[in-house]
Amino acid sequence: MTFFTLDTFASPQSPDYIIYKGDTLATYTLILEQYFHLQAKEDQGKLFGLSFRDGATFNCWRGYQAIYKIENDSLFLVAVISCGERRNGKIDKVASADKMKSIFKDKFLNDRVYIDWFSGDMKFPLTNKVLRWDGVFYRIYEKETVIDIAYGKVLKMENVDNYIHIPKAIDRKSKDKISDILFKKIKKAKWINVDSIDCSEKYLVTIGNDGKVSKVTMLAYESQDSIDKYWERNEYDYCINSVFSSLKKLQFDILKDKGKPISEDIYIEIWFDEKKGKIENWTH
């Protein structure tokens, strides 16, 4: 099937929910969609009678939200509701049961469905502090509970910290500030005359899972063919190496997702003003 991805939507999307120890918590792990992906034979704008448009809102393009529950070390789907229905304080249990019966048939037992198709990590936040957000759906919280699941069976649960401070390292809790930090270092590099080589470009600076800059690429010239077509190789190498050399000694704090260190790309655009003889930060 043609499986929809949330990054095609411009509006922030509402989460699903998980009931754990009596609390109903937001989760940004899409599990029900994985079942659709596995089972559906073709996509005609609907998934088992659940339309992307019927009842959809700008912040809920799926047209529904799922509610899960952990019980006896197992993960269950206990409701499929209309967008914002839980927030409005009342859930139509009859409508939810009808939807689940139409989707899961004989898998719907005792008003629930055992999540036997999902293996992986599910998580929910322990704090309101968001470290990273893709602008649409996925969020990384500073502190989270991560649930390790194998075919619906809960193997392990642990609370994790997704931000590790290293002594004397650079704070990176706010991603928006990192490009300015990078530019200050790039600006100090010893650049040759711009008449000779102009390195005005859009760059992606990769901060590795160890908190150090591991790679620099030009956003518009990531393939070998595009580099060869538009650049003299020695000029391209000079620009990349100059940016990387100015940043390689930086040490940032460690960023994690689900308790595991991750790398991330930071966008930065620099411009060499030939008349002023200055390098400018055009990132913003």
Query: What are the extents of the domains in the chain?
Result: 6-161, 164-281
Per-residue three-class SS string for 9-63: CCCCCCCEEEEECCEEEEECCCCHHHHHHHHCCCCCCEECCEECCCCCECCECCC
Give the pLDDT mean for 166-190: 94
Q: List, in sequence order, every residue forming a beta bridge with 201; answer none if it has no partner.
A: 270
Which is nearest to 197 in space by CA: 228, 238, 227? Answer: 238
**pLDDT tens readout for residues 74-101:** 999 999 988 877 766 678 899 999 989 9
Q: Tell me if 240 sits within 8 A of 218, measured CB to CB.
A: yes
Q: How far apart are the C-alpha atoms of 6 and 10, rounded to whole Å? A: 9
Strands 201-207 and 264-273: antiparallel
pLDDT at 157 over 70: yes
Query: Which tops the pLDDT comparison, 63 or 241?
Result: 241
